[in-house]
Structure 1
C-alpha cells in the first residue's frame, strides 16, 4: 500500500468537500471571511496591524456568468477563473492566504551569540517535518537577553510554521506544522531564517489543523512549487508567493467535521505505517539471521560424504603455488595456515611462527569446516581500485561506490566513463570480473556496504574498472563466489563500524579485510547454502513487496 499517496488523497478529498457531507444550515464560508476582514480593519484601528497588512485583502466571488472574480481593496475587479483548480461545494469559498493569515519571517540569528544550553531554542529548517516539530534536532540555543531582543520572532500556540528552502526540483521542503500548546511547555521557540510563520487572524473561524491540511494538499503544493526560485541546487519559496496562494475555505462547522474524519483516517494510516515499519524491521532482522546461520553451518545440514574444507584449502594452496611459479602472484613467506590442535585450540602458522588464536575465533563451526584468512581465499590481492581520470564518453566504465546502492543492488547506470588515455594503468586483473564481491570503502553512510557484481548487471556491456573508493574481493575458482558474498554480507554491520580516520574521512583499510577470519565449508555445502539462501530470500522479498 502506498500510504503516502493515500494520505495525500485524503487531504485532497477533504479540501474538495468530498470527505464529509455538507449541511445547508451551516454558516457559509463567505460570512466567516467577511468577519475576518472586518476583524483586520478593527486591528488596524487599534494599532495592532498596519494599513499595509490589509492592502492586499480581496474578496473572491462567482459572477452571474459562473466565472470566478476577485475584488481588490481599491475597488478593481479581475476575472481569475484560470487560477481556480476545481469547483467547490455550495457554502464554501476561495480566498488568498493573505486575507486570513499574517506572515512572520524568520530572523538571521548570529551564531556568535549561541549559548550551550537554555530554554530559548531556535527553530530551523531541519526541525520541521509535516505535522511535527522537533526542537532538539541539532539543538541551537540563545541567551535570555538575546531572546528578549528578538521577542518579535517568538513562536506562539497555533502558529503554522513552514520551511522555505530545500533542494530545487525535489519538493523536499515547504513542510508545515501547527504549534500546539505542548510544544511550548517549558520552552521558548524562535523563528530562524528561512522558516516562515503563518499566523491566522481568527482561529475561531478557520481551524489551524484545517488550514495545515489545506496547504499540504496537492493543489496547493503544485501552486506553490510553480513559484519556486533559486539556483541549480537550492530552491526557495517566497513570502509573497505563499500569501498569494488560493485555499478553499469550508464553513467552520464543516471544518470540525472534516478534521474529525480526516484525523480518524490519517491515524489509521499512521498506525499501518508503524506496523509496516515494524514488519520491515523484522524482515531485515530475518535476512541478517539467515546469513548468520549460513556462515555458522546451521542453515543446511552437513553431509558426511562431502569432501572436507581442509582438502579444498590444500587445493587452493597448490593453485596459489602454481600461480606464484607463473609469476602471476607474489610469494608470501608467512603464508597463514590455521588448524585445530589436539587441545581443541586453534593455531595459526605464519612461516616458522605458530601462535594460538582462540581469542580471535568468534564461534564454533562444524567439524568439516575450516577457518581461513580472507586474503588466502582470494586470487587477486585485496585492494582498492585506482583513482580514475574521467571522460565525457568512452568505451570503458568506472564502478564508483554509488553503483553499489543501499536498496537496489548494483546499478551500472550510475557508472561514469574512464578516460581511455589511462588504460595502460589497468592490467586485466584490475577490470571487474563476474561474481566479484565489492566493498564500499570510504564515506559515512556507505562505508562497509557489500555488493555482488554480475556481468548481467552491466547492461552497456562495456569493460569496467573499480574506482579508488571500492575494494574488490575475488576468490579462487575453487570457492563458490556467492558464498564469499554471503560471508561478507553477514559481516556488513561489523564492517560499517570498522572505518578509520576522521569523522568525514573514514576509510575501510584493505588490511582490515585481509585479516578477516572466514568459516569455510566444503564446496558441496557452499552450493547447498547458496541454494537455501536464494530460496529463503525470494520468500522474504515476496513478503516485503506485499507490504509496499
Structure 2
C-alpha cells in the first residue's frame, strides 16, 4: 500500500508538471512578438506533443489558444492578393443602409473607433468595426412566453451552449403564443444566437430547420454579410473577446451585458478569404483535438478495466 501511495503521488506530480510546462509554452506562443519567437514556441509544442497532451486539461487549454491565435491573425498566413477588410466593410455598410431605408433597421453603432479600443495588433489588411454595424439584433427582452408540453419549440439561454445548440431541455409554446411573441423578427439558418446572461457569452450557429420561438436573454445576430458567421462565432468564443464582454458587463452575482453595450464592442475583421481559411484551419484542428481527447478517455478506461480485473482476482 505504501508503494501504491508513492506511485499515485508520482503520477499526480507528473500531471501537474505537464500542466505547468504546457501553460508556460502556451503563454510564450500567445505573447510572441515576432515570427522567430512564435516559431520556437510552436516547435517546442510539436516536439513534445505526445507528452504534453496526455491530459485533457492541456488539450482544453490548447483549444482556447488556437482560437486566440486565429483571431489575432497568427494561425494562417496573410495573402497580399486578398482584398482588404476595408472593401468588405463597404459592402456591409451598403447593406446596412439598405436595411435602414427599406426595412426600418434600428441596430447600429458608432462608426469611429479610437486606437485604444483596438484590443489586438491587427495584421495588414484587417480592420475593426463595431458589432452593431455588422448585424441586426433580434432581441426578445421582457417577460418569458408561456410554456406548454408540446407545440412550437422554444430556444432559451439554456439551449445555447459554447459553440452549439443543445435541444435539451425541450420547451414549447403554442401557435397563438408564437405569433404574439415573435414580433421583432425570425431567426434563420446560419444566424448566430448569443446569450446575454446566465450564462454570458455563449454563441452558436442556428442549425434548426423548423420554426422556433426565441426566449429572453438570447440575442439573434442576423449578419449583413451572412458568410462571416463562422468566423464571428470563433471570435466570440475566444478568450480575447470574452474578456471584452466581461469588461462591458454589469452585475455582481450573475454577469450580464446590455444590448446597447454589446453593439459597441469593436470586432477585428480579416479579409473575407482569410476568414474562410481561418475557419477551415480551426475546424481541422478541433477535429484533431476531439480524437485526441477520445484517445485519452480510452486509455483511462483501459486502466480502469485493468484495475477491475486485478481486484477480481482477490
What is the aligned counterpart of 1:199 among 222, 231, 235?
222
**1:148 and 2:169 equivalent?**
no
Secondary structure at the aligned position of 2:136 is classed as strand
The structural deviation recorded for 1:227 is: 2.1
**1:58 and 2:107 equivalent?**
no
The structural deviation recorded for 1:98 is: 1.0
Q: Is the Cα contact below 8 Å between 1:100 and 1:201 reproduced in 2? A: yes
The structural deviation recorded for 1:154 is: 3.3
The structural deviation recorded for 1:91 is: 0.9
CA deviation profile, 1:75-97 (whole Å, cap 9, x unmatched): xxxxx222222211111111111
Q: Is the Cα contact below 8 Å between 1:128 and 1:177 reproduced in 2? A: yes
**What is the TM-score normalised by the length of structure 2?**
0.75
CA deviation profile, 1:54-107 (whole Å, cap 9, x unmatched): 3x2415xxxxxxxxxx3xxxxxxxxx2222222111111111111111222235
Give 1:4's aligned residue.
60
Query: Of Structure 1 and Structure 2, which has the larger fraction of its residues in helix?
Result: 2
Give 1:251's aligned residue.
271
Equivalent pairs, count: 257
Which 5+ residue runs of structure 2 have no aligned equivalent? 1-52
Q: Is the Cα contact below 8 Å between 1:224 and 1:241 reproduced in 2? A: no
Secondary structure at the aligned position of 1:128 is classed as coil
Equivalent-residue separation in structure 1 for 2:194 and 2:186 (angstroms): 15
Q: Is the Cα contact below 8 Å between 2:136 and 2:222 reproduced in 1? A: yes
Secondary structure at the aligned position of 1:199 is classed as strand
- What is the 5 A alignment of 1:15-414? 15-46=71-102, 48-50=103-105, 52-54=106-108, 56-59=109-112, 70=113, 80-108=114-142, 110=144, 113-118=146-151, 120-135=152-167, 137-151=168-182, 152=184, 154-166=186-198, 173-180=200-207, 183-184=208-209, 187-204=210-227, 207-231=228-252, 233-287=253-307, 290-291=310-311, 293=312, 298-299=313-314
The structural deviation recorded for 1:228 is: 2.4
Q: Is the Cα contact below 8 Å between 1:103 and 1:196 reproduced in 2? A: yes
Secondary structure at the aligned position of 2:212 is classed as strand
Equivalent-residue separation in structure 1 for 2:170 and 2:75 (angstroms): 39
Which 5+ residue runs of structure 1 have no aligned equivalent? 60-69, 71-79, 167-171, 300-548
CA deviation profile, 1:240-298 (whole Å, cap 9, x unmatched): 2221212210111111111111111111112212332343344445555555x2xxxx2
**Closer, same or farther: CA 245–286 of 1 in aligned 2, 3 Å:** farther
The structural deviation recorded for 1:6 is: 0.8
Q: Is the Cα contact below 8 Å between 1:220 and 1:246 reproduced in 2? A: no
Equivalent-residue separation in structure 1 for 2:142 and 2:300 (angstroms): 41
Equivalent-residue separation in structure 2 for 1:271 and 1:209 (angstroms): 22
Q: Is the Cα contact below 8 Å between 2:76 and 2:281 reproduced in 1? A: yes
Higher relative contact order (Cα pairs below 8 Å, separated by 6+ residues): 2
**What is the TM-score normalised by the length of structure 1?**
0.44
Equivalent-residue separation in structure 1 for 2:306 and 2:212 (angstroms): 43
Q: CA RMSD in A?
A: 2.1
Q: Is the Cα contact below 8 Å between 1:153 and 1:191 reproduced in 2? A: no
Give 1:404's aligned residue.
none
Give 2:50's aligned residue.
none
Query: Of Structure 1 and Structure 2, which has the larger fraction of its residues in strand?
Result: 1
**Closer, same or farther: CA 132–278 of 1 in aligned 2, 3 Å:** farther
The structural deviation recorded for 1:221 is: 0.8
Secondary structure at the aligned position of 1:18 is classed as coil
